[in-house]
Structure 1
Amino acid sequence: MFVYSLPLFFYRIEALTPLEFLLLALMIGGLLWVSAPEPTAGIAVTEDKGGFRHYLLQAWLGRMALWRMFWPFFLVLNLLLYVVDTLAISGEFTVSSWDDVYFVLFTPVVFWTLCVWRNSANCRFRIWAALARLMTLAVYFEYGLKLLIRMDYPRIFFNCHEFLFDYAVCF
């Protein structure tokens, strides 16, 4: 996450400086820490009794430890975003296929966000709930940056010289 988009945002688009971005992230993190729920002492967190569907159901219902539902999705999502962006920059993906992948990944991101908010009380310290919520908001900021790059600055992100069919989207 932010491997390719933040350098473009800071040095090509020049909308914010890195220090301003850090201060903004700290302010949002502080707000999320204040609004995060207090960890509950006797939470009824269920163990693995089923397969993947049971895992998704328990995450949706808020009956899972926060780290057990946050980290697997976070790592898989960031790996997918990194691979897709690397392929788009190298010219292996067309602009429209890059759009399709981001569109398809948006629904699981919404599901993950709701699960993080529902399972925020199922952690040991309140700071972990605030950081997990901040990372979910950072994914939406990443999506906003990608949309900005796609709409206004496609020539600096995509390898437009290699595209034959999608060459028009680079203008």
Structure 2
Amino acid sequence: MTITVYYSDSNSRAINVLGDETEIKALRAEWSDAKARAEADSFFILLESEQPLEGIAGKRLKAQKDRGELPKFLKNREHTKQAVKKGKFRYRPTLVGGCVSVAACNKGAGVLASACISCENAVFLPGSRAALEQTKEFYEAQLAEGAPKRARQEYEANIKQIDRFLQRLIESKEVI
């Protein structure tokens, strides 16, 4: 179910492609319910896992959870599912962990992990280090191949951004 939801995320562009018959409306309602349930389940698996959460949204969620101040719609799966169905909340897996943006991503985060570093909706998980290091290697390879000047500047800036973020991850773990 999760894979189906993941690959159908662009289904909003196919409105009424099948028509408006009663059966189609029932199918849409069932689909909406399954999608909301999958997102709520993914979110609660993350929240209950006790994994360290990084990134802007990850730190905010962890702090709210630790203080017992999660918003009401995040306190149980059914409330979260209803919030997803109403468009008030989303949680989608990404290269670095997850994203809680209710809007579609326009930062290219589906391709390169560096797009999520400064995003207020990013949830970084322990496995995100590998995605960031792979993205950094990609940028370094592009620089070694002689990327155009404008691209070079962007790649160099992204490498610095990744290095700073990885350093903060190391420092935050040393403090704990």
Q: Same fold (TM over 0.5)?
A: no
More strand by share: 2
More helix by share: 1
Q: If the length of structure 2 is used for normalisation, what is the TM-score?
A: 0.30
Q: Which has the higher contact order (CA 8 A, sep 6+)?
A: 1
